[in-house]
Amino acid sequence: MAELLKNCPIPAAARATRFWAVDQVILSYYAFAAAVVVGWWDHVPGAAVLLGWHILGSAILIYEVKRPNRTTWVFHNWYPLPYVAACYREAALVVPAIRHWDADAWLANLDFRIWGAYPTVWLERFQRPLSVEFFQIAYTSFVPAVLLVAYLLWRKGLYDEFRYYAFLIALGFLASYLGYLVVPARGPRFLLRSLQHLPLQGLWLFQAMQAGLDRLETAAYDCFPSGHTEITILAWWSSRLVSKTVFRIYFAYTPLLIFATVYLRYHFTVDVLAGAALAAFLIATAPAMFRKLS
């Protein structure tokens, strides 16, 4: 990183002391989240730390934008990664603290009314160690797949496309976090565990990958909408900015990950439908939002 900063020139975009579209989205979300923390101060664990982070994080961003320096170019392009990730960790604390109910039973009933069965239970007949292993790898590859598009755009010097992608993905993640607050749910692997006849069994990496995800996601109420579905669709759509080959690869990967969300019991199908609908909405409306905020 030090070498990158040393050799990196300061483009005009970095010297401009105006907020980019992604900055306005993130600062708005941070202001909203800070207001929620203050409003439920006695209920949110670590409320002082969370509020302090919102103030400090916002101050750092404002300083980097208004006082351009040698770190501004890299920071301004890549800061959404840790900022948005921090919001996910915060949601895992805030949602159960202020929402004293969950929507799992309601979502499961919707699934049953649509399909006449619980999809995760019905899919047991098709579960084999090899297929479980394969789809767990696809599911676990979610974050690397999303970041790979950003890296390829950056490496090709497509900085305008990179900034739009950062805006779109940040907007997608933050919109899903609001969904977690409105419809808190943990998913079928918790609610329907007693109805499942067999536990999921992989081959080599399944247990380690699932345990790792459990540690990262803690006890998050992060099912509705399916962020994996939403963000993967956005990454697939954006991959066309890199090349046709990358677009085809993501076109093949996306349905595998979406199927894995239900096959591995992480999501109800209505979560998936909501995530896909939200992705379609953002694909249609984000360009206009980006132009207006820019």
pLDDT tens column, 219-267: 688 999 999 999 999 999 999 999 999 999 999 999 999 999 999 999 9
Q: Which of 65, 98, 131 is the last residue of a domain?
A: 98
Confidence (pLDDT) at 44: 94
Q: Which of 60, 75, 98 is the last residue of a domain?
A: 98
Whether the ω angle into residue 68 lies within 30 degrees of 0, i.e. cis, is: no
> Are 84 and 35 within one domain?
yes
> Are 199 and 133 within one domain?
yes
In the DSSP assignment, the letter for residue 188 is: H
- Cα separation, 235 vs 172, in Å, equals 10
Closest CA to 15 of 58, 76, 56: 76
> Are 177 and 232 within one domain?
yes
> Are 49 and 130 within one domain?
no
> Are 72 and 110 within one domain?
no
> Are 115 and 244 within one domain?
yes
Neighbouring residues of 267: CB distance < 8 A, sequence distance ≥ 6: 187, 188, 223, 226, 228, 229, 261
Q: How many domains does the chain have?
A: 2
The domain in which residue 199 lies consists of 101-294
> Are 130 and 228 within one domain?
yes
Q: Which of 74, 98, 122 is the last residue of a domain?
A: 98
- For the record, the structure tokens of 70 come out as 């040698």
Confidence (pLDDT) at 150: 97
Confidence (pLDDT) at 218: 57
Question: Which residue is associated with the tokens 């047991």?
Answer: 124
Confidence (pLDDT) at 5: 36
> Are 52 and 186 within one domain?
no
> Are 84 and 179 within one domain?
no
- For the record, the structure tokens of 192 come out as 């329907």
> Are 94 and 146 within one domain?
no
The residue ranges of the chain whose pLDDT is under 70 are 1-16, 202, 213-219
> Are 78 and 211 within one domain?
no
Confidence (pLDDT) at 30: 97
> Are 187 and 242 within one domain?
yes
